[in-house]
Structure 1
Amino acid sequence: MIQIEAFEVEDFDRLIGWVNSAELLTQFAGSKFTYPLDRNQLQSYILEPNRHIFKVLDSSTDQVIGHAEIYELSDQVALICRVLIGESALRGQGKGTELMKELLAYAYDKLAVHTIDLNVYDWNLAAISCYQKLGFEFVSDTEQLTTVNGDVWRSVRMRILPKS
């Protein structure tokens, strides 16, 4: 079972330890941060308004296993971003799907938004599959290009509306 709790200063070093390459930082955070991730960047990050930043716990072990954020774009629209299962050995076990369900519930129930968006790199097929299983669909007119070590990464937008 996955649980989300507020991300705080004492969580900084764990997140910094997980993000061990510029590529992973870009995959996880887009262009929000520069590599190497450090405490100064995270201190500024947690002070930004409209950000609901979480550490992710596996409630069966009480172990912190990840990080996630919901950014309120407006009263009706939120963006799920910076989703990371920190330890690579824990990836691919369905924890990301459980986490996304928690984030969706938080956004709909606590923030009372109507629309939830996210951005994902088009090569990240495992994440895209997870999002599609939950009901996210591609938004056709939005994409961004980022160059990482000479490779061009294409970020696409996905969206989910509440079930009526």
Structure 2
Amino acid sequence: MEMIQYLIGSGEETILWWQAAVRATIVFFLAIIMVRLGGKRIFGKHTAFDIVLGIVLGSILGRTITGNAPFFASIIAAFTLVFLHWLMAVTSFRWDSVGDLVKGNFQILVKDGEIQWESMKRNHISERDLQEAIRLLGNGARLEEIKMAHYERSGDISIQIKD
């Protein structure tokens, strides 16, 4: 145990530069394990549910590297958050109502070529944002040709063209 404290510092005093390097190395490999255990969702472009974990995990692990937080307690806290994220994702998969609560719902922005202005306003989506999403389709579609446009839980706008 003394050897471990020597390598990573005790956390009661300022850690040395090489102890920070040892901590960074350990945290790097543990973070890879955490991401692999948590799945690809953790740092993908998904919902606020996923993004919040990434931010909090980065904060905890950053403090762990710099010695501003107890090493082992922080690692345990980080693994706990990854486990809770995984558990919520599994629960959301099984029960849509939990998924809706944690991740939100999609919103209809366009229906049969008609902009749903109330939904656009509620979600702070401008007509220019919608036009950009249409252009990104790359097929030269016009608003009148859109069957449905959804503001997805991920923040993306998905578009279905009429037949």
TM-score normalised by length of structure 1: 0.19
TM-score normalised by length of structure 2: 0.19
Question: When you count helix as a share of all residues, which structure comes out higher?
Answer: 2
Query: Which has the larger Rg?
Result: 2
